[in-house]
């Protein structure tokens, strides 16, 4: 299981939101590139970047910063936020991004997701963000009636690399990862699932490592790394020993 540090970019800064609320922002660094370099130095094997401004606007807003990170950091980068057409997908992947995350598009444009999975097999990640098991889109600003599990199942055998499953209520709150919901999703599909939202202590990593019978391939950690509640090196070491 990979430990994946998160870098959320808003107005060019590295921030964290509480429960996806754009009015509850904590700025952790003015330069996201420095943050990415720090995570790479500490042993990160993959970095998760979200263009928060892009997720609301529906098109990239911080692509320049993201591509600077790709050039300067020798670690694969997965990117989400405002990626809603093939032009943007092609742009990121042709400029060195390892994989792109489709969230809103997964619900609103099934044809695009299937076409992207075929064209860029193994480089497309579904971003499924849920409130009480129901999918939320457009930077988490709009909740839908779509079940997270039903949405995931729809994209079996479509060339999808992984699913990032985020429990919005827990995201940025350090209240513990939603093991039950994450496992339920992972059990429902053959696509590897990356857990996200609420990771608070190394015990959350241990709980995910203990899940059997499904493929939880990684966990995204944000605020707990920034506050020092979790040591990236310790978490990576724990996963390495468990493998």
Provide the pLDDT for residue 90: 98
* Alpha-carbon distance values, 231 to 39, 83, 159, 177 (Å): 11, 31, 33, 17
Q: What is the pLDDT of residues 64-79, one digit of tens each?
A: 999 999 999 999 999 9
pLDDT-derived band at 214 (thresholds 50, 70, 90) equals very high
Active site residues: 8, 129
pLDDT-derived band at 188 (thresholds 50, 70, 90) equals very high
Q: What is the pLDDT of residues 87-143, one digit of tens each?
A: 999 999 999 999 999 988 888 899 999 999 999 999 999 999 888 778 877 655 567
CA distance 65 to 51: 10
CA distance 16 to 84: 23
- Identify the bridge partners of residue 160 per DSSP, sorted by sequence position: 124
Q: Where are the domains of the chain?
A: 2-242
Name the one residue in this structure whose structure tokens are 């092609």: 90
Do the Cβ atoms of 205 and 177 come closer than 8 Å? no
Q: Which fold does the domain 2-242 belong to in CATH?
A: TIM Barrel (3.20.20)
Query: How much is the mean pLDDT over the chain?
Result: 92
Determine the average pLDDT of the residues in 15-19.
Answer: 83
Provide the pLDDT for residue 173: 60
């Amino acid at each position: 299981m990979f430990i994946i540090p998160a870098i959320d970019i808003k107005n060019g800064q590295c921030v964290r939101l509480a429960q996806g609320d754009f009015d509850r922002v904590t700025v952790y660094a003015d330069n996201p590139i420095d943050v990415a370099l720090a995570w790479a130095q500490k042993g990160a094997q993959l970095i998760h970047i979200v263009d928060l401004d892009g997720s609301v606007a529906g098109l990239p807003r911080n692509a320049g910063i993201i591509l600077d990170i790709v050039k300067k950091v020798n670690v694969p980068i997965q990117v989400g936020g405002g990626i809603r057409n093939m032009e943007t997908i092609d742009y990121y992947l042709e400029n060195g991004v390892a994989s792109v995350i489709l969230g809103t598009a997964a619900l609103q444009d099934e044809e695009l997701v299937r076409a992207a999975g075929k064209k860029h097999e193994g480089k497309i990640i579904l971003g499924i963000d849920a409130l009480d098991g129901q999918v939320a889109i457009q930077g988490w600003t709009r909740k839908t009636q779509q079940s997270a599990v039903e949405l995931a199942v729809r994209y079996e055998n479509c060339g999808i690399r992984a699913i990032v499953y985020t429990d919005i209520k827990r995201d940025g709150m350090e209240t513990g990862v939603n093991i039950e919901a994450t496992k339920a999703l992972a059990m429902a599909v053959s696509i590897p699932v990356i857990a996200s939202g609420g990771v608070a202590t190394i015990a959350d990593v241990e709980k995910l490592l203990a899940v059997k019978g499904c493929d939880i391939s990684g966990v995204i950690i944000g605020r707990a790394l920034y506050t020092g509640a979790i040591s990236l090196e310790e978490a990576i070491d724990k996963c390495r020993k468990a493998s």
